[in-house]
Amino acid sequence: MYSPWLTFLKRIFFYTFADVNFSSITNSVIMKQQSNSVLRSIDYVTIAIYLALLCFGWVSVCGASYSFGETDIFSLDSRSGMQIVWIGTSIALGICLLLLDDRIYETFAFFIYGMMLLLLFATIFNPHEIKGSRSWLVLGPLRLQPAEFAKFATALAVARLMSTYKFTLTNWRNLAKAIAMIITPMVLIVMQKETGSALVYFSFFLMLYREGMTGSFLFTAVAMVAYFVIGIRFQDTLLLDTPTSVGSFTVILMIQVFCAGLVWVYCKARGEALIISGGCVAVTLLSLLFSEYVIPFNILWVQLALVALMLAYLVWVWAGKQMKEYLLIMVFAVGSLLFFFSASYVLNNVMEPHQRVRINVLLGLEEDLAGAGYNVHQSEIAIGSGGLEGKGFLNGTQTKLKYVPEQDTDFIFCTVGEEEGFLGSAGVLVLFLCLILRLIHVAERQPYTFGRVYGYCVLSVFLFHVFINVGMVLGLTPVIGIPLPFFSYGGSSLWGFTILLFIFLRIDASRNLAKT
């Protein structure tokens, strides 16, 4: 005979344990569903492009480092054999990054950034100097370059900062924080005498532009480059029969026209823009005719007087309308003049001799085929000798005879051009284009600011590396010594690019999961 109390206790026992089992089963089911969701959400298209680039990169390293008579390209004593090790460890590293919880990257972003800054600072005092740079840490047979890993740390920290509540780049204080976070590792890397790696961090400004930074910053940067190139390149060229420098004349005229355009775009003042541009161009043209046919004189003085009148006119308009845009345009004009007149001094008195020679060779002011221009000249010969279809795998002559310095690292693209020809080079560039376009697509589908910002940091870094590296091999950009992603020999760059990419793929894989 059962007591009512015993029946009641049995029911409590049954429902309690049934509830525990049900809860356990439910949690395991949810975790399994999330795991399956992440696996399904991984962007396998990007991974396929990554693997293809690794394969083509190894073939290029093999061709660049191969010597006639070498019997084993897979030996660990050869660079091609060691590159297989770097590739294998990179793939394993990528898999590990995909297995981690994506929230780790956002939670520890500032911590990773801080630790990387300390490592960069410690590297400045590194006793090992390799090719004039102190950017390498030598750990027995292993050499690592912290600057390569600082890219993903900076990207994580900037993404974490910009994903905070109510963060907008229209706030000057927020913009200053983001820029300071980007500039800090640059300064530390420059102190390591590694200018090329430091310049890569300028690519982050493309992300800032995507996230709402005014386009005037990019316009100012492009204008400064134009001032420098035109002013230095044509500094000693005279305008017609006048004692006026073509470089100075063109740059000052550009400043006047740019200011008129800024008034039109940002101040919505069409009449004032026409007065500035029309007045400056008309007076400059009359001065040119007078100097050419009447009395030769330096038109630069007239142009500077016109700039002074333009600034006075902008002050007068600003006093009447009280619009800060006029003040900003005045700052742009004065800053442009200061930059232009200081560019020559910086080039001749501040820059290192080898940097000055490289810029002069690039601008066509010098032709140092045996010195600073040797690398580029030999690279162009190697690429040109490849023709349409190339000489074939391991059949290149310029690269096999080691005519091109750093042909398996910074100048590895010349090996692609010589052995694979125009078709192979175009194929590699198309593959990189597919990667960039895919990264844009993946970044745009991110539901949270952190993922989107980090994604644009990643694609900006890749775009900068590809553009500058291929450009310097072709003689279109200065030789600053940065690797071609997934192609250049070495573990630091390959690991750095893999970490940068696979963290983004892991963040993207969780885009459909609710954040808790």
* Cα distance between residue 386 and residue 419, in whole Å: 6
Angle between helix 172-191 and 146-162 (nearest 10): 170
pLDDT tens column, 238-279: 888 888 999 899 999 999 999 999 999 888 888 889 999 999
Question: Which residues sit opposite 139 in a β-bridge?
Answer: 142
Interior CA angle at 186 toward 218 and 127, to 5°?
160
* Cα distance between residue 389 and residue 473, in whole Å: 19
Predicted confidence at residue 158, as pLDDT, reads: 96
The residue whose two tokens read 């956002």 is: 106
Tokens of 64: 């660049």
159, 450 contact by CB (below 8 A): yes
pLDDT tens column, 341-356: 888 787 777 676 766 7
Predicted confidence at residue 216, as pLDDT, reads: 80
Predicted confidence at residue 23, as pLDDT, reads: 43
Question: What's the mean pLDDT when you consider all of the chain?
Answer: 84
* Cα distance between residue 456 and residue 451, in whole Å: 9
Measured CA to CA in angstroms, residue 180 lies from 94, 97, 170, 187 at distances of 30, 28, 16, 10
* Cα distance between residue 239 and residue 339, in whole Å: 22
- Looking at per-residue confidence, does 216 or 69 come out higher? 216
Q: What secondary structure letter does DSSP report for 238?
A: B
Measured CA to CA in angstroms, residue 341 lies from 252, 351, 471 at distances of 11, 16, 28
* Cα distance between residue 350 and residue 88, in whole Å: 43
Predicted confidence at residue 261, as pLDDT, reads: 92
Name the residue type at position 508: D
**Which region holds residue 321: left if phi is over 0, alpha if psi is between -120 and 50, else beta?**
alpha
Q: What is the 3-state secondary structure (H, E, C) of 98-110?
A: HHCCCHHHHHCHH
Predicted confidence at residue 7, as pLDDT, reads: 55
Asked if residue 34 has pLDDT above 60, the reply is: no
Asked if residue 469 has pLDDT above 70, the reply is: yes
- Looking at per-residue confidence, does 405 or 188 come out higher? 188
